[in-house]
């Protein structure tokens, strides 16, 4: 074979290998959980940075409460007006992300629910968080009544999520007003909706926000998360 043709053949082979390697999906892990990208992320979202940030923020023992993260936009996200969900050891997160931090937020919020499932007995056995949440909900109802809202048809003493109450909060009252009335009682309006979301918003604040703020607003959550973290390092 002439030298020129041989050179073209070699360059073609190396070019094919390089392109194949470039197109092959990269494998990512968060702790021991694999990240399965079922639908592509936007170019401005760097999954490697998202994964690194989550692993940097969350202790390994808590990361081990999930088995897999699926990146895919589900119709259920639109129905529930969410970007992610946790179910049976898996986190499902939309690929339609605005930026790296939004994806980190989504994953860590759902990880909070995984931790709650795995350590639920330890988290809730002394009922401190439940009492803290219900006390805030009762005070919150009083604030809303004083502002002229009719709360009589809603059960503010329930720990569980209520779609009717959720709609009352975010549709009848509205998000901006809800922020003002819940300020100082809850870390954010989403934490008003149920015990699970109250814990999840506290989890986010502990690992991504201001621990001192969490301790001042939700000391029961701060104390319980501090216990879990200390156990991992002892």
**pLDDT of the chain, 234 residues: tens digit per residue:** 555 554 544 455 445 434 443 444 578 999 999 999 999 999 999 999 999 999 999 999 999 999 999 999 999 998 888 999 999 999 999 999 999 999 999 999 999 999 999 999 999 999 999 999 999 999 999 999 999 999 999 999 999 999 999 999 999 999 999 999 999 999 999 999 999 999 999 999 999 999 999 999 999 999 999 999 987 665
pLDDT the model gives residue 62: 96
Q: How far is CA 75 from the centre of its chain?
A: 18
Q: How far is CA 207 from the centre of its chain?
A: 11
pLDDT the model gives residue 27: 84
pLDDT the model gives residue 26: 75
Name the pTM for this structure: 0.86
Instruction: State the SS3 of 156-199.
Output: CCCCCCCHHHHHHHHHHHHHHHHHHHHECCECCHHHHCCHHHHH
For residue 99, give the DSSP letter: S
pLDDT the model gives residue 5: 55
Query: d(Cα 88, Cα 234) in Å, to the nearest integer?
Result: 29
Find the radius of gyration of the CA atoms of the chain: 23
pLDDT the model gives residue 22: 45
| Domain boundaries of the chain, sorted by first residue | 28-118, 123-232
């Amino acid at each position: 074979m002439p030298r020129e043709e041989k050179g073209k053949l070699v360059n073609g082979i190396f070019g094919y290998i390089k392109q194949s390697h470039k197109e092959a999906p990269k494998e990512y892990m968060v702790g021991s959980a694999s990240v399965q990208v079922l639908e592509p992320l936007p170019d401005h979202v760097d999954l490697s940075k998202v994964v690194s940030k989550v692993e940097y923020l969350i202790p390994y023992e808590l990361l081990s409460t999930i088995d897999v993260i699926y990146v895919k936009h589900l119709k259920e996200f639109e129905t529930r007006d969410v970007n992610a969900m946790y179910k049976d050891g898996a986190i499902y997160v939309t690929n339609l992300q605005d930026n790296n931090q939004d994806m980190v937020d989504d994953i860590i919020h759902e990880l909070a629910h995984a931790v709650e499932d795995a350590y639920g007995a330890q988290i809730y056995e002394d009922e401190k968080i439940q009492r803290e949440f219900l006390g805030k909900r009762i005070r919150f109802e009083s604030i809303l009544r004083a502002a002229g809202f009719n709360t009589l048809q809603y059960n503010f003493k329930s720990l569980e999520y209520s779609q009717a109450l959720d709609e009352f909060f975010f549709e009848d009252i509205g998000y901006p007003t809800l922020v003002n009335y819940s300020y100082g009682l809850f870390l954010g309006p989403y934490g008003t909706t149920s015990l699970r979301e109250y814990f999840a918003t506290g989890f986010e604040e502990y690992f991504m926000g201001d621990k001192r703020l969490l301790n001042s607003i939700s000391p029961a959550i701060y104390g319980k998360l501090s216990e879990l973290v200390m156990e991992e390092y002892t």
